Structure 1
């Protein structure tokens, strides 16, 4: 399905408990910039191939991994810091989700994000990023 309308935002639902809707995201590989990682993760999770970032935000969101995840996976880090970038997909862009990483996706208008994203602090950061983009 294409996005169809200008200024819609792509949200994905991860295969985790609690209906976790969020922006496409993932880890930064060694030697990779935040912008390059964002475009790679977008392609891996949704099949969308975009060649450039429209806006790189100064906003970040930090969170700790759940204790059961840390115990089960023994990661090097016990949390993650997200950086935010904005890229524009063409109106006829077609999403093909990787069902190992994403259960569902939805295109929403900015005012609809809070209907999906329930983590208050994450939502606040996303709203600040969108405000930055409006000023660009």
Structure 2
């Protein structure tokens, strides 16, 4: 039976209702959303707050939506990690709105991203998401229906 790492992920909106996509440091051809493991004793909400502080350097946001179920993806064949051997990740997705005064800093102590950009939903190039494309499409489509202001 496959085992999946418990994880949380954030789809982030700026003040203009644009979605922020982040360019990965380890695979610069890939773009995505901040995400990370849920630690023992931590709720998914606590984990997403911690991960955003660690990965994009801000806590200036509010959680405005939560995907109603967990989404899973498998890692591609050959993708390995030094400290664990999961088949993939099981994620709780959140829709996050940055506060107007929020400032993003991807140059953290352990940078996962090298840059970011803001785009409208209609302009998303799903090919940038590689093996996570199906999960990203589900989460983005759900939030598009729930929050009509996403363009």
Q: Under a length normalisation based on structure 2, what TM-score does the superposition of the two structures give? A: 0.72
1:114 counterpart = 2:125: yes
Higher share in strand: 2
Between the aligned partners of 2:141 and 2:97, the Cα distance in structure 1 is: 17
Of the three residues 60, 80, 93, the one matched with 1:84 is 93
Higher helix share: 1
Runs of 5+ unmatched residues, structure 2: 1-12
- How far apart are 1:47 and its partner, in Å? 0.8
How far 1:121 sits from its partner (Å)? 0.8
Number of equivalenced pairs: 132
| Equivalent residue in structure 2 for 1:38, among 40, 48, 53 | 48
Distance 2:83 2:147 in 1: 37
8 Å CA contact 1:54, 1:86 repeated in 2: yes
1:75 to 84, 109, 117: 84
Distance 1:79 1:44 in 2: 22
State the Cα distance separating 1:33 from its structure 2 match: 1.3
Q: Partner residue of 1:20? A: 30
Kept in 2, the 8 Å contact 1:50–1:87? The answer is no
Unmatched segments (≥5 aa) in structure 1? none
State the distance in 1 between where 2:128 and 2:25 align. Answer: 15
| Structural RMSD (CA) | 2.6
Runs of 4+ in 1 over 4 A off after TM superposition: none
Match of 2:6 in 1: none
Instruction: Flag the 1:4–1:58 CA change in 2: closer, same or farther, 3 A.
Output: closer
